[in-house]
Structure 1
Amino acid sequence: MANFNEIINKNDTVLIDFSAEWCGPCQTLAPILQEVKEHFQDKLTVIKIDVDRNRALATNFKIQGVPTLLLYKEAAQVWRQSGLLTKSQLIQVIGKYVV
């Protein structure tokens, strides 16, 4: 949890992807997240967290389904969504917070 908080506090805008290896939509989302990261470049940090390997963290954030995305701006959670989103949907949401 200390590393997690450190990342959230150190970076201006952070997108967290709670996922699992066995999750089909998570696998579909992975290349989309890469494209979104490339779109925003150094203005966005993307973190992938495997819920099976990080059960305590997933429980702490009340993750009930994967994929679940959380967006942090200046260490405050500003958006949360479960399920698969398109590249354009993600860019639209994140674009509201990235200057």
Structure 2
Amino acid sequence: MSQTKESFHDIIHGDKPVLVDFYADWCGPCKQQAPILKQLTDRVGEKVRVVKVNVDKSQKAAMQYQIRSIPTMILFKGGKIVWRQSGVQPLHTLEGLVKQYGG
């Protein structure tokens, strides 16, 4: 069975908001962010799509979005950046963003 892989461009230009977590496996704060993102998806379901981008494996994307520190979160809506923040983000902040941009 063949599987088509969506491009990053297609993902961020989709119908729903997309929260992108730029991270690295060796990053301590990134490891703290992971369970918060899991809680977010458990709470908001299909209102937002969460995508993780490993900056070591996707250096082109990291350069394109000028990722200088990790974790960095970027929220896209209709392909446009509507929010961006570096550092570990608390669940209530992320939930607020989903409410604001996710309908």
Please classify the TM superposition score into its range, dividing by the shorter chain length: over 0.9
2:58 is aligned with 1:54: yes
Identity %: 37
1:50 Cα deviation from its structure 2 partner: 0.3
Correspondence list, 1:1-99, <5 A: 3-99=7-103
Quote the RMSD (CA, aligned, Å): 1.2
Amino acid at match of 2:64: N
Check the 8 A contact 2:40/2:91 in 1, yes or no.
yes
Aligned residues: 98
Runs (4+) of structure 1 moved beyond 2 Å? none
1:10 Cα deviation from its structure 2 partner: 2.3
